[in-house]
Every structure is written in structure tokens, then in C-alpha cells.
């Protein structure tokens, strides 16, 4: 299990295009992860946890990986009184997403990642997403309704305490005995090399959510043409909460 935080940055999914998803000059560095999913904000208030294991130890179907690995995270949240549940490979609390997940086969290993989002700076994330100023203002409103963080519901525990509680939950759920370690010099060198390679890449195509951005499994913000008219539409948990004709 890899555990840690990072300096503020935007993290793109494996096949996303920075040119399509983000503003021309993001305010923070942009990194591409070798896992699926959409653009996410990562900073020092988010404890990332990544499980890396031989494929033989993971469920046979990759479709089942995220839900399988999220069980320890659920147990960890509940240990602190947060009644989190698994929905569509994400974790939800009180009708909003509090954590996502991503997975991939890398070499001969299964890699599944998620995080504990302690504080989510909605405005900082929204201002870096591609679109008009109006689109980004709506995005901030949508994120506040579709996403939540730990600090909005409970006290934020000490990072080492949280790590140990989660490591115990992983052991209990998966039958593993995790021992504390750190990256070797060789591992750190390989990571730096891979990071250097991925920073140069950009993928082309379309946005993950055509015309906009996905907020959670049931919520999105889009701009599209409807009966010849440009429309901006915010959907939260399957319900259209705001719709407006876009005028130029």
C-alpha cells in the first residue's frame, strides 16, 4: 500500500486531454496518472492510498477491483462515525461523493487507488476547468451539491493515526499484514523517470462527459445544442437543477 500526500496539482485520467479538459494555463502543475477516471484535484489535504498487488491476488475481473478494494476505506470512514457507502466504484456520504477510485493493470500488477479527501477547495479546482466563466461558476455550484469532504462531517484525525487505522482495515478485509516501509532509491528513480515521460503526453479526442464534466456518477454539467439553441444544464443526482440558454 502506497500512502501519502502531494503538493497541489491537477491529476488527469489515463486517456484525458489536458487541452480539452483544462484551461490553457492552469494555476497548478498537471500530472497524468496511469489509471482511469476524470480530472481530480490533489493537495496536502488529501491522503492518497494505492494498493499494488500481483494480478493473482486481485479478483479475476478488473470490473470488480474498485469495489473490492474500497471495503477497507468504508471500514475506515465508519471507524470515525462517517456512514460511507459504495456507489458505482465511488464512496458516497449523505447523498454526495466523498471519494473516487481508479484502477489499471500495470505490468503484472493490479493497481487500485483512492483517497481520503479532508478538505476540498471547490473554487480552486473549478477555476482550472475548461469552459466559459459562466460554466465555471455553475461548476462550483454543482460541485458543492455533488461532492463533499471529511472536514464537513467530522474532525480531521492525525495523518499517522488515520494511516494506521486504514492499514488495519486493509489487513482485516483482505487478510494482509502490512508492514511499514519506504521507497528505495531505485524505486524513487523509476518513479521520477515515469513522471518525466507522462508529463510530455497529451491525448486527443473528446471530453469524458461530452460537452462538459462529470461531477459524480449521477451528476454532471454540460453545454450542448438543443433544438438549435445552446443550453447549459446542471444535473445533480439525476435531476436537472438548473438550465439556461447561452447567449453570446
164, 158 contact by CB (below 8 A): no
Lowest mean pLDDT among 41-55, 144-158, 210-224: 210-224
Among 12-16, 103-107, 204-208, top mean pLDDT goes to 103-107
| CA separation for the pair 163, 168 (Å, rounded) | 9
Dig out the grid coordinates for 176 from the structure: 494482509
pLDDT number for residue 206: 61
Residue 188, Cβ density class (10 Å: 0-12 exposed, 13-18 middle, ≥19 buried)? exposed
Averaged pLDDT score across all residues of the chain: 91
| Averaged pLDDT, 197-218 | 74
Residue 98, C-beta contacts closer than 8 angstroms, at least 6 positions apart: 77, 82, 84, 91, 92, 117, 147, 148, 149, 150
| CA separation for the pair 174, 170 (Å, rounded) | 6
pLDDT number for residue 34: 86
| CA separation for the pair 106, 31 (Å, rounded) | 17
**3-state SS, residue 75:** helix
| Averaged pLDDT, 52-65 | 92
pLDDT greater than 60 at residue 46: yes
* pTM value surpassing 0.85: yes
| CA separation for the pair 114, 116 (Å, rounded) | 7
Task: Report the b/e string of 75-104 with b at 16+ CB within 10 A.
Answer: bbbeebebebebeebbbbbeebbbbbbbbb
More confident: 209 or 110? 110
Amino acid at each position: 500500500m502506497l500512502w501519502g500526500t502531494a503538493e497541489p496539482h491537477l491529476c488527469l485520467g489515463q486517456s484525458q486531454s489536458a487541452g480539452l479538459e483544462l484551461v490553457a494555463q492552469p494555476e497548478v502543475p498537471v500530472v497524468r496518472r496511469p489509471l482511469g477516471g476524470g480530472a481530480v484535484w490533489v493537495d496536502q489535504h488529501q491522503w492518497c492510498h494505492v494498493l499494488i498487488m500481483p494480478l493473482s491476488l486481485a479478483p479475476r475481473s478488473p470490473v470488480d477491483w474498485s469495489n473490492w478494494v474500497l471495503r477497507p476505506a468504508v471500514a475506515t470512514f465508519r471507524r470515525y462515525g462517517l456512514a460511507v457507502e459504495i456507489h458505482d466504484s465511488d464512496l458516497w456520504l449523505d447523498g454526495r461523493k466523498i471519494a473516487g477510485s481508479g484502477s489499471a493493470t500495470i505490468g503484472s500488477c493490479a493497481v487500485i487507488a483512492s483517497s481520503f479527501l479532508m478538505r476540498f477547495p471547490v473554487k480552486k479546482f473549478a477555476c482550472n476547468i475548461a469552459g466559459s466563466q459562466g460554466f465555471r461558476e455553475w461548476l462550483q455550484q454543482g460541485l458543492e451539491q455533488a461532492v463533499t469532504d471529511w472536514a464537513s462531517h467530522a474532525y480531521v484525525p492525525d495523518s499517522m493515526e488515520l494511516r494506521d487505522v486504514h492499514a488495519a482495515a486493509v489487513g482485516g478485509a483482505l487478510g494482509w499484514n502490512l508492514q511499514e516501509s519506504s521507497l528505495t532509491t531505485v524505486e524513487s528513480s523509476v518513479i521520477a523517470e515515469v513522471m518525466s515521460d507522462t508529463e510530455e503526453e497529451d491525448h486527443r479526442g473528446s471530453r469524458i462527459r461530452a460537452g462538459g464534466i462529470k461531477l459524480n456518477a449521477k451528476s454532471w454539467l454540460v453545454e450542448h445544442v438543443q433544438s438549435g439553441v445552446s443550453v447549459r444544464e446542471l444535473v445533480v443526482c439525476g435531476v436537472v437543477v438548473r438550465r439556461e440558454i447561452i447567449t453570446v
